[in-house]
Amino acid sequence: MRERIAAAASRAGRDPASVRLVAVTKGVDADRINEAIAAGVDDVGENRVQEAVRKHAAVNAGVRWHMVGHLQTNKARRAAELFQVVHSVDSARVGEALAAGRPHQLGPLEVLVEVDLTGIPGRSGASPQTLTGVVSAVRALPGIRLTGLMTIAPQVDQPDAARPWFAQLRRLRDDLEQTLGAPIPELSMGMSDDFEVAVEEGATVARVGRAIFAPGMV
């Protein structure tokens, strides 16, 4: 995966070291996660808080835990205790719940605002129209530190067909930086089927599960 990320970054004239690989471990047992850590995984992503709770003690220490799935407010306090990064803040309300639940001794929780660019019913995420308000509200909260934006492209037949959504998120981030006068460095975008295109369009975080743990299915 890192070789493919490096090749995609090189095609875009980017430093491959600027892209973080998060191994998404939904449905993967702790032994296999530990094998991945031994092979060089530094960042582990989970979709559900309760699954992370079950695995946390059995997974080797030293990795960064990322919450990459939809987060309900009633799970936010536990998420704020378990994770170092939450990618799926889709409202000021979720941000407030994370801020209230973050233990002071752990330092600020790194968060990204999830943006839905597809309009597909049932998808979570702030809309482009509400994004500035959500980002402004989250940035003002104590106990958390907003570092970027996240999106999930729609399912497409060819990876390159996802490019417009990744390019749109990058443009939204660039506009926000101008509006707010502050850096928003992280773009979490791209999964197993399309992460190379996402890196070409500026992703700083690639969330890859199936391509790592079930490579025959890529």
3-state secondary structure the chain: CHHHHHHHHHHCCCCHHHCEEEEECCCCCHHHHHHHHHCCCCEEEECCHHHHHHHHCCCCCCCEEEECCCCCHHHHHHHHHHCCEEEEECCHHHHHHHHHHCCHHHCCEEEEEEECCCCCCCCCCECCCCHHHHHHHHHCCCCEEEEEEECCCCCCCCHHHHHHHHHHHHHHHHHHHHHHCCCCCEEECCCCCCHHHHHHCCCCEEEECHHHHCHHHC
Structural domains present in the chain: 2-217 (3.20.20.10)
For residue range 38-59, list pLDDT tens digits in order: 999 999 999 999 999 999 999 9
pTM of the model: 0.95
For residue range 164-188, list pLDDT tens digits in order: 999 999 999 999 999 999 999 999 9
